[in-house]
Amino acid sequence: MDKIVLGLDIGGTSVKIGFLTRKGEILKKWEIPTNRKEHGKYIVEEIWQSVLKNLTSINLDQQSIYSIGAGAPGFIDRNSGIIYEAVNIGWKNYNLAGQLKALANVPVFIENDANLAALGENWKGAGNGARNMIAVTLGTGVGGGIIVNGEVLSGVNGTGGEIGHIIVESEGAVCNCGGKGCLETIVSATGMVRQALELIGDNPSSQLSNLYDKNGEVSAKDVFNLAGKGDKLSQQIIDRNTGILGSLLANLSVIINPSVITIGGGLSQAGETFINAIADSFHRNAMPRVSEVCSIKVAELGNDAALIGAAKMSHDFDMQSILLNENTCDKTAY
């Protein structure tokens, strides 16, 4: 069997682990819980033990690993392999690449998880190989990955492409980043719940208010469900969110000039109406020349995007090495 790429998508709750071919096909994938004890010091060792066990289960061993690609939330320096800070995990100035390299002794590639998902989506999903693309992930928070001229935009200290922290409402709700009114405080599952709770009191006859009185809580899913049943208050929240996101993407597109924008994450599953409303707002607000070349698409790879992105980093490294006609290249691997 050919050598495999080990893909890791390290999140605050679970670590997704995958064995992939060097062409990005997933051979096996599974998850383990993220052990956040003592600032996450056991995570890498637990991943490695799980990897060894699963290699054995398919009659492979450590020598079968060609390279490792890993994504984690937070600010990451892909060139040094260091995680400046991953709040949900507990890592600060953590040398993830070094730790993995010490265990596996193969090239290791590290990237922010949203950037990794953008790479995966670009390679095998809705991005369809676009050289200029914006990927947005709408979940509990808002993730963003931007590909410009075929490369992920990372910036001077790993903050490039953090779309969720663009301010859209000055003096708005406080964000996890310490700022106020970031996109993430509005167009996310938590943002939608917050807006719903703010509006319920003034609109006691709405279906949303009735549901809240009955259950003592509401979810973003409830807002979508009730909007589908004609609840005006729920529709008002969705209209505001799609309007804000569409115009923000139109503004970003003046800088990036992308051919595709992918929308992923839990909220992207809310249905065609939601995505179409984002697209309408985008095309209404974007400069005609920007709008006419860009389509808004639902991301296709779901939770696999970051694992596939991990294989893409390894693939790109190989391509660079071939171009340079040498076996080593000091750009991103360790």
Q: Which residues bind Zn ion (CB under 5 A)?
A: 165, 175, 177, 179, 182
Please give the backbone phi and psi of residue 72, each rounded to the nearest 5 degrees, phi first: -145, 155
Nearer to Zn ion, 179 or 228 (CB): 179
| Spatial separation of the C-alpha atoms in residues 95 and 77, rounded to whole Å | 10
CB nearer Zn ion, residue 179 or residue 243: 179
Residue 7 or 141 with smaller CB distance to Zn ion = 141
Q: In the chain, at which residue ranges do the beta strands (DSSP E only) sit? A: 4-10, 14-20, 26-33, 65-72, 75-77, 82-86, 91-94, 108-112, 133-138, 142-148, 151-152, 260-264, 295-298
> Cβ of residue 165: shortest distance to Zn ion, in angstroms?
4
Pick 96 or 186: Cβ nearer Zn ion: 186
- Rounded distance between C-alpha atoms, residue 176 and residue 88, angstroms: 11
- The rounded distance, in Å, linking the Cα atoms of 331 and 248 is 32
Shortest Cβ 286–Zn ion spacing (Å) = 24
Minimum CB distance to Zn ion, residue 36 (Å)? 22
Nearest-angstrom CA–CA distance, 248 and 117: 20
Shortest reach from residue 301's CB to Zn ion, in Å: 26
Find the shortest distance in angstroms from Cβ 249 to Zn ion.
17
CB 225 within 8 A of CB 233: no
Distance CA 221, CA 292 (A): 32
- Residue 114 or 182: the one with the smaller Cβ distance to Zn ion is 182
